[in-house]
Amino acid sequence: MRPWWVVLVPLLCGACTGLQVGEATPILREHTASPSPTPHVAQPWWPGQFQNGIQIYWHINGPASSLQRTAAQDLNYIVGLGANSVGISFPIYTDGAAPTRVYAGPETPSVDSLSIVLAAAKARKLRVMLRPLIEETNIKTAGQWRGTIEPPSNTAWFADYDKLLVGYAELAQQYGVEELVAATELSSLQSQTAQWTALSDQIKAAGYAGVMSYAMNWNQFTAVPFQALGLDAYVPVYLGDDATVAELTDALAAWLNQLTLSVRQASTVQEVGIPALSGAYTHPWLWGASTGVINTIVQANWFTAACQAAKATQTVGIYYWMLDSNNDNPLQPDVTRQSSTSWVGRPAEQSIKSCFSG
């Protein structure tokens, strides 16, 4: 039986075909100094080792020199945290809650942009996960998000989706990417086994030899035909701000233990994040919340508990969400401008370091 403080409730929000150049929002970061020499991971990941990871949300295009500086700053910071792995999450688009197509949109990074950050990650000897993520701007109406889309024709929609993913698979193979996430949080389409099997077959036929995974939303544990699973850890925990790390760990471990041991041993927590706000344990998915009382200890304790739960339940890794490629240089953070969801320069940063060193 689950502990009384864990209640799974419905989630109302989450956290052109072919590879085309997206017209991304201009880079907001100011580059005031040249990046430091390329650091390497102290202990590179190898199969069977726990993945200590950070997700970068990479949604920029621009001159190669600017992209290289941004990639260097983010990845040098990640190496400094003690990570051995990085996820490169990036937006792709679909046209509404009843979509007919999938395409590279306004903030989809170009092939050149992705190539720069992938090469920079490999140069630092990080394990790399490439993770396309359907952006929700075109979807969000009352109660709608990427996990509720219902294409009028699954066949036509998947044909578009598959074409885009195969292109990314070819790029992933070119850069030796260890893991390609075939989809993230597409709960309403998760039961389309034949379509996912066909996508998997196409990715293999394109020559991709790495791990293929599928990232499930926290409340949608159903079978998918992929060799590995991602878990997005936005489970609500009904405890107050004064909850101990042990209590939070027990709650998150109880959520993970709904899966069998064999499934957990093929699963990675691909996203764990929470705003640094009072009361956030009951709704960690409210990413980007702009109101509320800042409480950095809420965020730090959640990060510590998520790490302890992921390790105690024998999952294969954890990735903290996220560094935004459009935000300030994390090596020189301006804490006065941080959103409630940033953990850079806050106590949760130390929680990540402790997780990765343990």
For the chain, how are helix, strand and coil distributed in percent, rounded to 5?
35, 20, 50
Q: Determine the pLDDT at residue 29.
A: 57
Q: Give one word for 320, left, alpha or beta, with left for phi > 0 and alpha for psi -120 to 50.
A: beta
Q: Determine the pLDDT at residue 337.
A: 85
Domain boundaries, the chain: 51-237+259-274+317-357
Q: Determine the pLDDT at residue 291.
A: 76
Q: Determine the pLDDT at residue 290.
A: 62
Give CATH for domain 51-237+259-274+317-357. Answer: 3.20.20.80
**CA Rg value for the chain:** 19
What SS3 class is residue 308? helix
Low-confidence ranges of the chain (pLDDT < 70): 1-36, 288-290
Q: How far apart are the first and last CA of the chain?
A: 30
Q: Determine the pLDDT at residue 30.
A: 53
Are 151 and 61 contacting, i.e. CB atoms less than 8 angstroms apart?
no
What are the helix (H) ranges across the chain? 64-81, 111-123, 154-174, 193-205, 245-256, 261-264, 296-312, 347-357
What are the distances in angstroms from CA 307 to CA 24, 58, 134, 269? 33, 24, 26, 9
| Encoded tokens for 21 | 């150049």
**Rounded to the nearest 5°, which phi and psi values hold at 220?**
-130, 65
Are 215 and 271 contacting, i.e. CB atoms less than 8 angstroms apart?
yes
